Structure 1
Amino acid sequence: MSQLDQPKQREFTGKHMILVVGLFFGTIITVNLIMAYFATSSWTGLVVKNSYVASQGFNEKLAARRTQDALGWTPNLTYQNGTITYRLENDQGEAIKAGFAEAELKRPSHEREDQLITLLPKEGAYSADYALGSGAWDIFVSLTSEAGEPFTYRERIIVQ
């Protein structure tokens, strides 16, 4: 076999090494930049602005919750065909009449679609027409009875 028939062997030079190192670190940096972009453009994860200040009202919130539980009222929240309906009943099954009722609609993953809506009385319940996008929603209902007793309720629903 002559030298002409043998395949020419390629050398691995310094230029090749610079290209390999550049591609390696370029890939790492690109992935990190993409992940940083999505991390800063999506939900912050912030639940309260100052956890210490929020913790100072814990005992009051706990006492209010116990008072609410002692009322024996039963909440019922439904969402059908673009209508949010909230019914609150006493221990005899009679509807509680409220002077004021509102619902705070929140996405568990971000704040962009959060809304505060007023629930209007309708046939022993309180309702509002509001089209929710598909996915998970946390609904916080606040109601003050005609006797001045506050009642809060939270429920997570999944809209198809």
Structure 2
Amino acid sequence: MSKSDVFHLGLTKNDLQGATLAIVPGDPDRVEKIAALMDKPVKLASHREFTTWRAELDGKPVIVCSTGIGGPSTSIAVEELAQLGIRTFLRIGTTGAIQPHINVGDVLVTTASVRLDGASLHFAPLEFPSVADTCAGRSLL
């Protein structure tokens, strides 16, 4: 493996070309498909559950990086991307729901969640709410 600035993702700050937005699906198989929807997709690295591509959206670089399953591997990806300059994360993927009005295949924009994962306790106390940025959430609707 070549020299990288972050261990798990195998990326350098230069690889991101100034990107500050990352789209983070859990499944590595979705990364290329998402990047292909944008301009100039380029594969940057692939190691274990982390596959990373860079593409352009409206002429600006965007990173697409898989996180694997669960809080700990998501934490690794988010922390390392933040070290490289990413400031906004858009998590996309599948979810489960127990509400009868939510059907398989429905598109949801999650604005808050219950923090019972364990990994997030290293960043904020359990009482701290897990709430999405309201402006970002509204722009997705």
Please identify the structure whose Cα radius of gyration is greater: 1
**TM, length-normalised to structure 1:** 0.21
**TM, length-normalised to structure 2:** 0.23
**Greater relative CO (CA pairs within 8 A, separation 6+):** 2
Task: Specify which structure has the higher proportion of strand.
Answer: 1
Task: Specify which structure has the higher proportion of helix.
Answer: 1
